[in-house]
A and B are shown apart, each in its own frame.
Chain A
Amino acid sequence: MSEVGEARKRVRFVPGQPDMWAFVFFETLVFTGYFGFYLFYRARSPELFLQAQAQLDLRIGVFNTLVLLLSSWSVARCVQSSRAGAYRPALKDAFLTAFFGAVFMVSKVLEWATQIHLGNGFASNDFFTYYYFLTGIHFVHLLIGFVVLGVVIYQLRSPARRSQELIETCATYWHTVDFLWVLIFALLYVVR
């Protein structure tokens, strides 16, 4: 291939399948819709939202965010190791990512249980409807993320497979889960 061709290929390079980026874009649009409706309803009854929001524990939100950021860090390390051909450390990082994901999941379930115990259910008021809806739909994305991590581990385990493109595609999905959480965290816990 000519140098120009090589350079063009380098410029166009995105990690993993470009198709996954179409998913990231589309999901971002859908979540933008969810966030738009949230902000619209929040602007209509700011007092109610502020009061309800005060019942969330910001420390749990920060903890959740740190855990997911750590999971993104470990999945990035996994990609890096895999690119370098260091498959054993890559496998370790994939398991570490799953561990952080599981910590997030357990912490979220405990938070839901605490809120329900406090009398803040799914239909209690508009804020908690959004709270359960946004964290719930994100939770579904996280569950799919475990399947995706399973694909990464499956790829890394056998020398016969090890598709770098697939590993990077899966890592892109995991980063999307993290990215969406950061926005949800900002809207539900931080913006007052």
Chain B
Amino acid sequence: MSAVLTPPASAATPPSGPLHHRIAWHLRHNPKRELWLAWWTVVVFYNLFFPVFFIVAQVQPPPQPTWDLATQVHWFHERQLGIPIGFGIIFAIGGMTAINNALIAYSMRRMSVSRAFAYSYLIIYSLSAIPGLYLLCIALIVGTLRPERDPEAVGWLYDFAFLSFDGTMGVFLIGSLIWMLAILLDKNRVFPKWFGYLNLCNALTEVVVAPCWIFRRGVLAWNGQIAWWLDMVVFGVYQITFIVMLFQMIRREDFGTGPLPDLPRKPKVDRSDVEAAA
């Protein structure tokens, strides 16, 4: 942490005038343009990520772990178009996760805590993209595009894909805890403390996924009500919250190193003034 507080950069004022002039000004002069680009990348990524998995490839919600080999082969056959198209998109946009992680790491660099937090988070989440995203895609795409292979091998890919995706959530757990710790220790008020505790809630639900290695049926199987459905609800709440939190952080960013200033409150409109104006 820097011992010297640097003064915030003076905010440039956008010109008034036609919309395209204002957009051009923001693209050329807005000091936060890189941050906004990163934030919009996050939004675009998740707006593609979820529809690809749920609608295009139709691999989520996960299928039954107890299916026999013939049903598993049939499941791959039904998705012979959706999986290649969907995961083709994922392979193309997967790199956007790096920008997502970088923005979160940036939030930790803006805090009063050691840089070690941001770097640890970056490394952990870069590595966790492999078991938590790419292995699933690779295994399922191989199973789909090599239908002539032995059903035993296809069944193995089926198990491998969903166990790598759901069974390795523990890797994300440490990332959530690092962000939580940084938020709770931070003195620059980058995020509210309750968001730190929400990270803990998210981490605790990721512990719950681990038993899917043991169970093939019931609430703790990889498609179970607790291990998948409840966790997905918590993850959804967490996901939306952290995108909003990052949005607020960028709005408040002053490029200094001290406490992040609050946004100026909108002045209350006096009803009598409005009536008088009308």
Binding site for B on A (CB under 8 A): 17-20, 22-23, 26-27, 30, 33-34, 37, 41, 122-123, 126, 129, 133, 137, 140-141, 144
A98 to B233, CA, bound (A): 34
B220 at the interface (CB under 8 A from A): yes
The smallest beta-carbon distance between B212 and chain A, in angstroms, is 12
Cα-based distance from A108 to B208 in the complex (angstroms): 19
Q: Could you list some 17 contacts between A and B, CB below 8 A?
A: A17-B193, A18-B194, A19-B197, A20-B193, A23-B194, A27-B201, A30-B201, A30-B234, A33-B233, A37-B219, A37-B226, A123-B214, A129-B215, A129-B220, A137-B204, A137-B208, A140-B204
Is B198 a contact of A26 with CB atoms below 8 Å? yes
Residues A19 and B194 in contact in the complex (CB < 8 Å), given A30-B234, A129-B215? yes
Q: In the complex, what's the smallest C-beta–C-beta distance from B233 to chain A, in angstroms?
A: 8
A126 to B158, CA, bound (A): 25
Contacts of A30 in B (CB 8 A): 201, 204-205, 230, 234
Known interface pairs A122-B214, A123-B214. Does A137 touch B194 (Cβ–Cβ under 8 Å)? no
- Whether, in the assembled complex, B236 has its beta carbon less than 8 Å from a beta carbon of chain A, the answer is no
A41 and B198 within 8 A (CB): no
Interchain CB contact under 8 A, B230 and A141? no
Q: Once the chains bind, are B214 and A23 in contact (CB under 8 Å)? A: no
- Verify A122–B211 contact, CB threshold 8 A: yes
B196 at the interface (CB under 8 A from A): yes
Q: Which residues of A contact B205 (CB under 8 A)?
A: 30
CB atoms of B198 and A23 under 8 A apart: yes
| A-side interface mostly | helix
Count of B residues near A, CB < 8 Å? 23
- Report whether B204 and A41 are in contact in the complex, using a CB–CB cutoff of 8 Å: no
Task: Write the nearest CB–CB distance from A116 to chain B, whole angstroms.
Answer: 14
Would you give the 0/1 interface string for B197-239, flagging 1 where the beta carbon is closer than 8 Å to chain A? 1101100110110010011001110000110001001100000
Query: Which of B197, B204, B218, B225 has most A Cβ within 10 Å?
Result: B197
Whether a CB of chain A sits under 8 angstroms from the CB of B192 is: yes
What CA separation (Å) do A27 and B202 show in the bound complex? 10
Q: Which residues of B contact A37 (CB under 8 A)?
A: 219, 225-226, 230
Q: How far is the CA of A5 from the CA of B177 in the complex (A)?
A: 38
Evaluate contact between B201 and A23: CB separation under 8 angstroms. Answer: yes
Contact A123 B225 (CB under 8 A): no
Contact call B225/A19, Cβ cutoff below 8 A: no
- Closest-CB distance, B224 to chain A (whole angstroms): 9
Shortest Cβ distance from residue B215 to the other chain A in the assembled complex, whole angstroms: 7
Q: In whole angstroms, what is the CA distance A133 to B215 when docked?
A: 12
Residues of B within 8 A of A133 (CB): 208, 211, 219-220, 226
A23 and B218 CA atoms in complex are apart in Å by 28
